[in-house]
Amino acid sequence: MTESNEDIFKTMNATKVLVAILNKIGSIEIPSKDFIDANKEDSQLSVTYNSENLSFEFKLDTLGYQSDYELAND
């Protein structure tokens, strides 16, 4: 990997995250209700970098949790 994890994160956005996830798992079907309810949840996307295996972990955490990085929220 030639770019630093900070450089990668600076260019990270929701579309790139989604494309990377779908490249890994294939397709996924999400009911419309899940999109409508997504902003009603008390959770946020948490991003953690693992330097041992040079990977990013994406997960939902409780609102206010401090992760290594934060993606911009709409």
Answer yes or no: is 57 within a domain: yes
Answer yes or no: is 69 within a domain: no
Q: Which domain holds residue 58?
A: 5-62
pLDDT at 19 over 80: yes
Task: Calculate the dihedral angle through the C-alpha atoms of 14, 30, 32, 9, rounding to the nearest 10 degrees.
Answer: -10
Answer yes or no: is 56 within a domain: yes
Q: Which helix (DSSP H) or strand (DSSP E) does residue 62 occupy?
A: strand 55-62
Answer yes or no: is 43 within a domain: yes
Q: What is the pLDDT of residues 25-54, one digit of tens each?
A: 999 999 999 888 877 667 788 888 888 998
Contact between 56 and 4 under an 8 Å Cβ cutoff? The reply is no
Answer yes or no: is 36 within a domain: yes
Answer yes or no: is 14 within a domain: yes
Answer yes or no: is 67 within a domain: no
Number of domains in the chain: 1
Among 38, 45, 70, 41, residue whose Cα is nearest residue 60: 45
Q: Is pTM beyond 0.95 here? A: no
